Structure 1
C-alpha cells in the first residue's frame, strides 16, 4: 500500500461547461499539490478529457456504474473521491422516468471494500423525502461524507431526527475551496483591463461594481440592473464618484435563454446611457478571476443556491460582496467570513450598494476579513489537507472493518 496508489476522483470534468466539473478541475490541482507522490486521476462522463482523465461515465446506460467500478478496481486506488450532484448521475429511461440516482448507490455498494469519500454539492436545510432517503442511503454506503457548511451538518441531524432516523456519524465539514494565488492589487487593474480587453471602453472608469458568472434564471441580475440607474445617481450625489456596472458572463443552459436575453437587454439599455457594460466570456480559468479583479466589489443576487463557486472566486480575490439572504450556504459563508453585506429586499440592496460604494474604509475592512478567512479556513491548501484527513479516515474504516464515528455539530 505505497504512495504509488492513485487518488481517483469521480466527477463531470472540462471541457463540459459544468460548475462541478470546474470545481473538480481546481480541487484536483491542489489535491495533487498536497500528494506529490501520487497520481490524482479522474473518471468522468464521456465528454470529459485531459491527461489522467478516463471519460467512461455513459449516462445513456442504466448500468453506467459497472464499467466505472471495474475501472476503479483495476486502478487499485488509495482513495476514491466522488463529487455528487443529482443531475450528473440520473439515468432517464425511454419513458422519461429517472432512476433517483440509483446508480450512485449501486456504485458505492460495489466499492464497499474501498475507501470511498463522497462530496455532495446539494444538501438543502429542509430535505424532501427523496433527498433525505438518498442521503441516508449514501451515508450508509460511503466511508466518509463531506458537507460544505456546518449548518448542513446540524440541519441534517434535525431532518433525520424528525423522521425518527439515526443521524449518520461519518460526516465531516470541509468548505468549498478557494484559490490562494489570485490576489491582484489595485495597481494591477489597468494591466488586467488591457489583458481582457476592457480598456477599450473608456466609460468603465475607476470604480466598478461587478455582476459576474454564469447567467442563469436563479442568478437574478435583473434585481440590480432594474434599480442601477437610481443607485448610480445616489452614489454620485453622496460621494461625487461616477461608478459603473460591469455585467460579465455567459449562458450555459439553453433552458435559461429567456432570462439571459432579458438580463442582456436591461444591461444594453444602461450601456447606451454610459452606466453599464456587458462583457461576454466563459466563466472558467484565469479570465474568471481577472474579470472580478477589476471590480471594487461584487453583487451576487442569487435566489436559489446552497453554496457557490462564484462566491469562492470572490473570496479568492478578497473582494467585498453583497448577496441575498437568507440563502443557505451564501448566508453562512457571509456570516463566517465577515466579508460581505446581505440584503433581502430591493430597497435593502439599494441601500447596501450605496453604502459600500461610498465607504472605502468598509470595503477595506471587508476585504481584510476575507483575506483572513481565505488564509485560515477556505484556501485550497487548507482544504486539500482536510481531504487527506478524510482519505485517511476512509482507509482506517476499511482496515478496521468499522464505520467512522465523528462528533455531531451541536
Structure 2
C-alpha cells in the first residue's frame, strides 16, 4: 500500500548518517538540511533515512523517517521498496563516504540504488585517486544509477573524470558550506574567556590519528620559545569509531607528549563534543587555526570551512580543499607531518597581526 497524504508537500529523502550520531557527515547533513529548509520550507519537505552501524540504535529527531542498518544487504532492498511505495518522496539524495555503507567498498548501496524507482543524486565526500578495478567499478555504478553527482572541489571533479571516466556534465561542484558567523571583536571574546593575554592557536574536530595533532605539539616548543604566552586548544572529543576500537590511546599519547615536551601551560584539551555556539566562540578568539591532517586523500573538511568562516588565519596541510581555498595568500600551506614548517609558519603569523588580519 502506498503512503500518501494530499496535504503533504513533495519530499526529498536524504540517506546519510545523522545526529545524534557523532560523525562529520552527520553534522554536514544536518546543517545542509536546516539551510535548505530555511530557504525552501514552503516548497518541499526534507526527510532523512539515518544510517546505523552494527547493533546501534539511536533516538532521532522527527525528520528521520527511516533508518538503515548499514551491514544488512537485504535492508537496502527493503528500504528501496519503502521509498518506492511512499508517493510523497520525489527524490533521494545520498551522502556517500567509503566506510559509511556495508559491503566491499560500500557496494551494498548499489542494491538500493538499482531497486529505486525515484531519481537519486549522490554527493561524494571523498574521491580516491588510483582506484583498483573493484573501487572504480563500484563508484561508476553509483554514478550511473544517479541522475547527478555532486563533489565539493575541482580536484574531486577532475579525479572522477580522469580516473573513473565520468562525463563532466554528470558532475556538479558545490563547495562545502558553512555557518554565517556574527563578527565579534576578538579581544572582547578573549577577555570573556580570560584569555586576553594569550596568543591562541586551535584545532577542532573528532580526534583520531589522522588529525596528526602530534605534529602541532612537536612544533609548539619552537613557537613557545618565541611566544611564551601561546596557547594551543585541542577542541573535541575522540571519534567514537576510534574509541570503540582502541579506547583513548591516541588522546593519552598526546597528553603524554605534552608532559614530555614541558607544554602543560601551553596546551589545553577540551574533551567534549562542542555545541555550535561553543565552537564558534572558540574560533572567534583563535589567532591562528592549525589544520594538520596527514591524509592526502581527504577531499574536504568541515572543520576547515568553519575556521575560515570565523575569520581565522589558517595554516593547513595540502588536502585539496585547503589548496583550492588558500590561494592568493588567504592562508599558508605546509607539508604533511612537518613540525618545522608548521612552527615557522605559526611564528610568522603570530608575530604579524597585519598579515593575520589580511588573511
How far apart in 2 are the matches of 1:266 and 1:189?
Answer: 29
Which of structure 1's runs of 4+ aligned residues deviate more than 4 A? 268-273
Matches within 5 A, 1:310-389: 310-325=303-318, 327-335=319-327, 338-344=329-335, 345-366=338-359
State the alpha-carbon separation in 1 of the partners of residues 261 and 192 from structure 2: 24
Q: 1:70 aligns with which of 81, 88, 93?
A: 81
Q: Which has the higher contact order (CA 8 A, sep 6+)?
A: 1
Q: Corresponding residue for 2:91?
A: 79
TM-score, normalised by the number of residues in structure 1: 0.76
CA contact (8 A) 1:144 1:171 kept: yes
8 Å Cα contact 2:284/2:311 also seen in 1: no
How far did 1:275 drift? 2.2
| Structure 1 residues 190-229: aligned runs within 5 Å | 190=190, 193=193, 199=194, 205-229=197-221
Which blocks of at least 5 consecutive residues in structure 2 are unaligned? 1-5
Partner of 1:29: 34
CA distance in 1, matches of 2:305, 2:65: 27
Residues 221-260 of structure 1 correspond to what in structure 2 (within 5 A)? Answer: 221-235=213-227, 242-252=229-239, 253-254=242-243, 255=245, 257-260=248-251
Q: Which structure 1 segments of 5+ residues have no match? A: 91-97, 194-198, 237-241, 367-410
For 2:277 and 2:357, locate their aligned partners in 1 and report how far apart those are by CA, in whole Å. 24
Correspondences of 1:21-170 after superposition (within 5 Å):
21-37=26-42, 38-46=44-52, 47-48=57-58, 49-73=60-84, 74-90=86-102, 98-111=103-116, 113-160=117-164, 165=165, 167=167, 169-170=169-170
Q: Kindly report the root-mean-square deviation, in angstroms, between the aligned alpha carbons of the 2 structures.
A: 2.5
Aligned residues: 339
Following TM superposition, by how much is the alpha carbon of 1:192 offset from its aligned partner in structure 2, in angstroms?
5.6
Q: Map Cα deviations across residues 278-330 of structure 1 (whole Å, 9 max, x no partner).
A: 222214533222222221121011011221111121122121110112x2333
SS at match of 2:236: strand
List aligned pairs for 1:269-348, cutoff 5 A: 273-304=264-295, 305-325=298-318, 327-335=319-327, 338-344=329-335, 345-348=338-341
Contact 1:320 1:339 survives alignment (8 Å): yes
Mapped partners of 1:364, 1:171: distance in 2 = 36
- TM-score norm. by structure 2 comes to 0.86
CA distance in 1, matches of 2:260, 2:287: 23
CA distance in 2, matches of 1:175, 1:10: 19
> Could you tell me how far apart the structure 1 residues matched to 2:95 and 2:41 are?
22
Does the 8 Å CA contact 1:84/1:121 hold for their aligned counterparts?
yes
Look up the SS of the partner of 2:201 in the other structure: strand
State the alpha-carbon separation in 1 of the partners of residues 302 and 192 from structure 2. 21
Greater fraction helix: 1
| Matches of 2:307 and 2:323, distance apart in 1 | 14
Aligned-residue offset at 1:168: 5.8
Matched with 1:377 is: none
CA offsets per residue over residues 119-149 of structure 1, 9 Å max, x none?
A: 1111124333333222211111100110110
